[in-house]
Amino acid sequence: MKILTAAQTHQLDQATMQAQNITSTELMERAAGALAEWFYGEFHSNEAGEILVLCGPGNNGGDGLALARLLHAAGYAVRVALLPTEKQSADWQHNRQHLPAAVPVAELAAGALPAIAPGALVIDALFGTGLARPLAGLAAAVVAHLNQARAHVVAVDLPSGLLADGPQPDPGAPVVRASYTLGFGLPKLAFLLPQNADYVGEWHVLDIGLDQDFIDQAATPWHFTQLADANVALPRRGRFGYKNTFGHALLLAGSRGKMGAAVLSAGACLRGGVGLLTAHIPGVGYDVFQTTRPEAMCLTDAQADFVSELPDLGPYQAVGIGPGLGQADATRAVLEELLRTAKVPLVIDADALNLLGAHRELLELLPENTVLTPHIGEFTRLTEKAHDDYHRLDLLRAFIQKHRCVVVLKGAYTAVGAPDGQVYFNSTGNPGMGTGGSGDVLTGLVLALRADQRLGPLHATRLAVLAHGHAGDLAAAETGEAGLIAGDLVAHIGPALQALTV
Ligand SMILES: NC(=O)C1=CN([C@@H]2O[C@H](COP(=O)(O)OP(=O)(O)OC[C@H]3O[C@@H](n4cnc5c(N)ncnc54)[C@H](O)[C@@H]3O)[C@@H](O)[C@H]2O)[C@@H](O)CC1
Ligand SMILES: [K+]
């Protein structure tokens, strides 16, 4: 699914009206109908109390007026408060005229803002994608008043004050803190960034039949990967597939006290469908590794406590390095030799990333399409400290294009960046996955899918990230989020991949 800018969204509206031969009023009615349907499902009219609808002067306010009419007709108690301005949009005027007289309407005024009881339902239809500058004056006062009322706010399209595509130019200007945000057609970049979480709340995208041809042709670097995305499905294993089709992976992992990382990563690689797995680990881990992962082969390093040797890479179709590795200088030398000599896909994680960050000259050696899986801290060590989430995305796009690699920037809505600068946000996963070893599991899964001879680098990586999150969601349904541990993710990779197989 694509993520478009506010300007593209406006063009999309126009394209939809033209392609479907409908007026903007009709499109607004569709939007209001979709909003109303969501309300009917979420809040029963007997329990909703009186709903306050705050309407701005543009089409966002027009949506609010149309929604107020539909909710009133469905038996909800509704009152409307309008932000006074000289000029309102044509569809606003249409919907103002069609608001039944039985719905109380007031004009917002400084010093006479409506009383809002704690827990009351408020619809924020002040500003959407047309917001051109930070809120000031009366609009800012209304939003500040709303935010301190502790109401349940449902934002139409965007929380008012938040820009769809970029950071707030004035961090001091108020933004509505919504419990829910209901967008139209496609998610917005603003929904996916941690810095906006307190404003956006739980978001949903409502289908209003926007023109698919326009969306298909629109140019954007931003995408949202969902379970149903056919581009990242796992192909069924053919009847005549055998171990080599699915590849032989090598995993360099573990050090004294961190053998669990190697075990978890290897487990994920095996559950990820790899044909064969060999792990190269320090001597200290031999017994635990062979006992817990009998399906994998095991090479032990001459060093007991850390990895100091690179084995012959001849047999392998992909190599993963990093989980639990430690940062010994001999390990850095192994990483360097790997980068210099490997002819097969590489997956680099954890301490191997920290070694890259501490020896930036090694970045120049990264083979094209290498997959790096940093969390934000590791990414910062590879680049620089971002001043906000939007800047971090700029840094990500610069990095992937410069080094021609695939970067998995881990977090909520993990972003997978491709060498051509395209970024794919992931939809699956939950906060229960913020637990030790979760990243090691992802590395093993990416490694398995990079070894799979049927998948390209971006397909394999996006699929691994999607399946990892889905495994987390399946696991959390059994354990709850707090009770989820990394081993549960490994155990659910099989069903997660099965759900993604075509
Ligand atoms: N496909 C879609 O996305 C659809 C969008 N619709 C709605 O249309 C909205 C966009 O409508 P508009 O383009 O009219 O924009 P908005 O309604 O978001 O805001 C524009 C109005 O706000 C004023 N304004 C902008 N910044 C301001 C500021 N900082 N302080 C005070 N006033 C400010 C403008 O002068 C203009 O009057 C969407 O957010 C959505 O709610 C729906 O009606 C139909 C479908
Ligand atoms: K809004």
Among residues 195, 219, 243, the one where a domain terminates is: 219
* Helix segments in 230-258, DSSP class H: none
- Considering its fold, how many domains does the chain have in total? 2
132 CA distance to ligand 1 centroid (A)?
A: 9
Selection from 269, 232, 274 nearest residue 252 by Cα = 269
273 CA distance to ligand 2 centroid (A)?
A: 46
The predicted structure's pLDDT at residue 243:
73
* Pocket test residue of 18, 60, 86 for ligand 1, highest count of atoms within 8 A of CB: 60
Indicate if the pLDDT at residue 241 is higher than 80. no
Same domain for 349 and 236: yes
Same domain for 263 and 209: no
Residue 290 forms part of a structural domain: yes
332 CA distance to ligand 1 centroid (A)?
A: 54
Residue 224 forms part of a structural domain: no
77 CA distance to ligand 2 centroid (A)?
A: 20
Same domain for 176 and 254: no
Would the ipTM clear 0.95, i.e. be above it?
yes
* Pocket test residue of 157, 200, 203 for ligand 1, highest count of atoms within 8 A of CB: 157
Same domain for 163 and 115: yes
393 CA distance to ligand 1 centroid (A)?
A: 26
Same domain for 243 and 105: no
Same domain for 265 and 203: no
13 CA distance to ligand 1 centroid (A)?
A: 12
The predicted structure's pLDDT at residue 245:
84
Ligand 1 atom having least distance to the Cα of 129: 39
Q: Provide the CATH number for the domain around residue 73.
A: 3.40.50.10260
Task: Flag whether 452 is marked binding.
Answer: no
Indicate if the pLDDT at residue 171 is higher than 90. no
Contact between 487 and 270 under an 8 Å Cβ cutoff? The reply is: no
Distance in Å from the first CA to the final CA of the chain: 19
Q: Which residues have a Cβ under 8 Å from the Cβ of 4 and sit 6 or more positions away?
A: 12, 186, 215, 218, 220, 222
The predicted structure's pLDDT at residue 112:
86
Report the mean per-residue pLDDT for the chain.
97
Indicate if the pLDDT at residue 302 is higher than 80. yes
Structure confidence at residue 179 as a pLDDT band (50, 70, 90): very high
Which range marks the domain in which residue 108 is found? 6-219
Contact between 263 and 284 under an 8 Å Cβ cutoff? The reply is: no
Ligand nearest to the CA of 160: 2
Tokens of 100: 């039944």
Task: Flag whether 340 is marked binding.
Answer: no
Same domain for 471 and 334: yes
Mean local confidence (pLDDT), 22-41? 98
What pairing do the DSSP bridges indicate for beta strands 406-409 and 415-417?
antiparallel
Contact between 427 and 224 under an 8 Å Cβ cutoff? The reply is: yes
Instruction: Give the C-alpha separation, 473 to 489, whole Å.
Output: 9
Structure confidence at residue 168 as a pLDDT band (50, 70, 90): confident
Q: Whose C-alpha lies nearest to ligand 1, atom 25?
A: 131
Q: Whose C-alpha lies nearest to ligand 1, atom 33?
A: 131
* Pocket test residue of 20, 38, 59, 89 for ligand 1, highest count of atoms within 8 A of CB: 59
**Pocket of ligand 1, beta carbon within 6 A:** 9, 13, 27-28, 31, 56-63, 89, 127-133, 135, 139, 156-157, 184-185, 210
Instruction: Give the C-alpha separation, 124 to 132, whole Å.
Output: 17
pLDDT in tens, 336-390: 999 999 999 999 999 999 999 999 999 999 999 999 999 999 999 999 999 999 9
Q: Which residues have a Cβ under 8 Å from the Cβ of 293 and sit 6 or more positions away?
A: 263, 266, 267, 270, 279
pLDDT in tens, 156-165: 999 999 998 9
Indicate if the pLDDT at residue 95 is higher than 90. yes
pTM of the model: 0.97
The predicted structure's pLDDT at residue 207:
98
Structure confidence at residue 289 as a pLDDT band (50, 70, 90): very high
Contact between 255 and 275 under an 8 Å Cβ cutoff? The reply is: no
